[in-house]
Structure 1
Amino acid sequence: MNAFGLPEILFLLQGLKWTVLLTIISFIGGGVIGLLIALARVSTSPVIQRLAAAYIALFQGTPLLMQLFIIYYGLALLQINVDAWIAVSFAYTAHASAFLGDIWRGTIQSLPRGQTEAANALSLGYVSRMRDIILPQALKISLPATIGFAVQLTKGTSLAAIVGFIELARAGQIVSNLIFQPLLVFGIVGLIYFAICWPMSIWGTRMERRMSRNHA
């Protein structure tokens, strides 16, 4: 049985780096697309609304693991070679955009109709109304739910190992197979995930309580 030492720690930290990068890229990309999806869901066009609803239903109604399989192995069947990093980034971005779009759609629709009516009375255009009045309020209200999803997204990156992407969980599995100390290795991996996700969860909880007091 080999000892757990500095090389193993460095390898886990390398996996952690890819976990963090994947989370950041998919959250930012998913946020940009998700905002467009949210705006499409509250559009006055029934066709655009249905298309956005179908997009959300597709990615929310199917397992992320299946989405990773289809994007990575499905493209390979079409003779399109896709690097694992690109495949998982695309899959997680699409996954995040569906959930963030639905979260933000709900907060936009939760705002009092008087906000929109007042903007119309001031003859504000659609872009100005959304940019200056609706979205700042909606995104602020959605912050606790958005942070909660970021936590889930961070933990969900462990599924990327299924297509050969070496993130934190996969790095832990490799180290465990080398030194034959699974309890030690995955205990450390679990502590690393906890150290990342727990502060985010606390932040989200505090934001939710603060908003509850403000609306009381």
Structure 2
Amino acid sequence: MNIIGPNEILFLLQGLKWTILLSAIGFVGGGVFGLLVALARTSNWKSLRRTTAGYISVFQGTPLLMQLFVVYYGITLIGMEVDAWVAVTIALTLHASAYLGEIWRGAIQAVPKGQSEAANALGLHYVSRTKDIILPQALRLSLPATVGFLVQLIKGTSLAAIVGFIELARAGQIVSNQTYKPLLVFGIVGAVYFVICWPLSLYGARLENRLAAAAAR
């Protein structure tokens, strides 16, 4: 029976590196497009609101596993060859943009209407009103939910194995098959996920309590 040595640990660390990179790219890319989705969802154009509402419904109403599968094999079907890395980052970005867009849409609508009315009374145009008044308050309100989604996204990267990508969970599976010590290997993998996600969960809870205390004043 094989033991878990330096080579196996290094292989797991390589998987951890890709898990962190996938999470970072998916979150940042999803944040950029999610902001556009949120602004579209709160616009005065009915057709734009309906289109983005449909976009959100598709990604919230289907499993991430299926989205990864469809993006990877769907791109191949139209005659384009892409690496698993590219397909996974595209799928995670689309997935994150739908969820963050809806989170931030709710936060934008939670900003008191008096703020917008005061900005209009001062003659501020849409860009200045949104950038300087609405978004700073909305992003602050949405921080707990945003951090909570980041935790879910980090754990969701484990599904990237469906298209053959080796991140932390898949690396753990490979090491487990080589060493025949699944409980030990996945115990290590689970501990690594816990070390990453637990502080973020605590931070999100602290932000939520802080906002609740401020609202109660």
TM bin (shorter chain): over 0.9
Which residue of structure 2 aligns with residue 102 of structure 1? 102
Question: What is the CA deviation profile of residues 114-162 of structure 1, one whole-angstrom value per residue up to 9, with x for unaligned ones?
Answer: 0110000000000000000000000000000000000000000000011
C-alpha distance in 1 between matches for 2:181 and 2:68: 29
Deviation digits for residues 7-33 of structure 1 (CA, Å, limit 9, x no counterpart): 111000000000000000000000000
Deviation at 1:77, TM superposition (A): 2.4
Separation of aligned partners in 2, 1:114 and 1:90: 38
Return the letter of the residue paired with 1:210. R
**Structure 1 residue runs of 4 or more that deviate by more than 6 Å after TM superposition:** none
Instruction: State the Cα distance separating 1:78 from its structure 2 match.
Output: 2.5
Q: Which residue of 1 aligns with 2:8?
A: 8
Partner Cα separation in structure 1 for residue 53 and residue 77 of structure 2: 29
Amino acid aligned to 1:67: Q
Alignment correspondent of 1:33: 33
Match of 1:155 in 2: 155
CA distance in 2, matches of 1:169, 1:131: 40
| Residue number in structure 2 paired with 1:53 | 53
Structure 1 residue 111: deviation in Å? 1.2
Matches within 5 A, 1:139-154: 139-154=139-154
SS of 1:136's partner is: helix
1:51-106 alpha-carbon deviations (Å, 9 max, x no partner): 11111111111111111111111222222211000000000000000000000000
Cα distance between partner residues in 2 of 1:28 and 1:211: 24
Moved more, 157-166 or 59-68: 59-68
Report whether the alignment pairs 1:19 with 2:19: yes
Structure 1: how far apart are the matches of 2:13 and 2:107? 37
Matches within 5 A, 1:36-185: 36-185=36-185
Cα separation, 2, equivalents of 1:151 and 1:101: 16
Given residue 148 of structure 1, which amino acid in structure 2 is its aligned partner? Answer: G
Amino acid at match of 2:213: R
Q: Which runs of 5+ in 2 are unaligned?
A: none
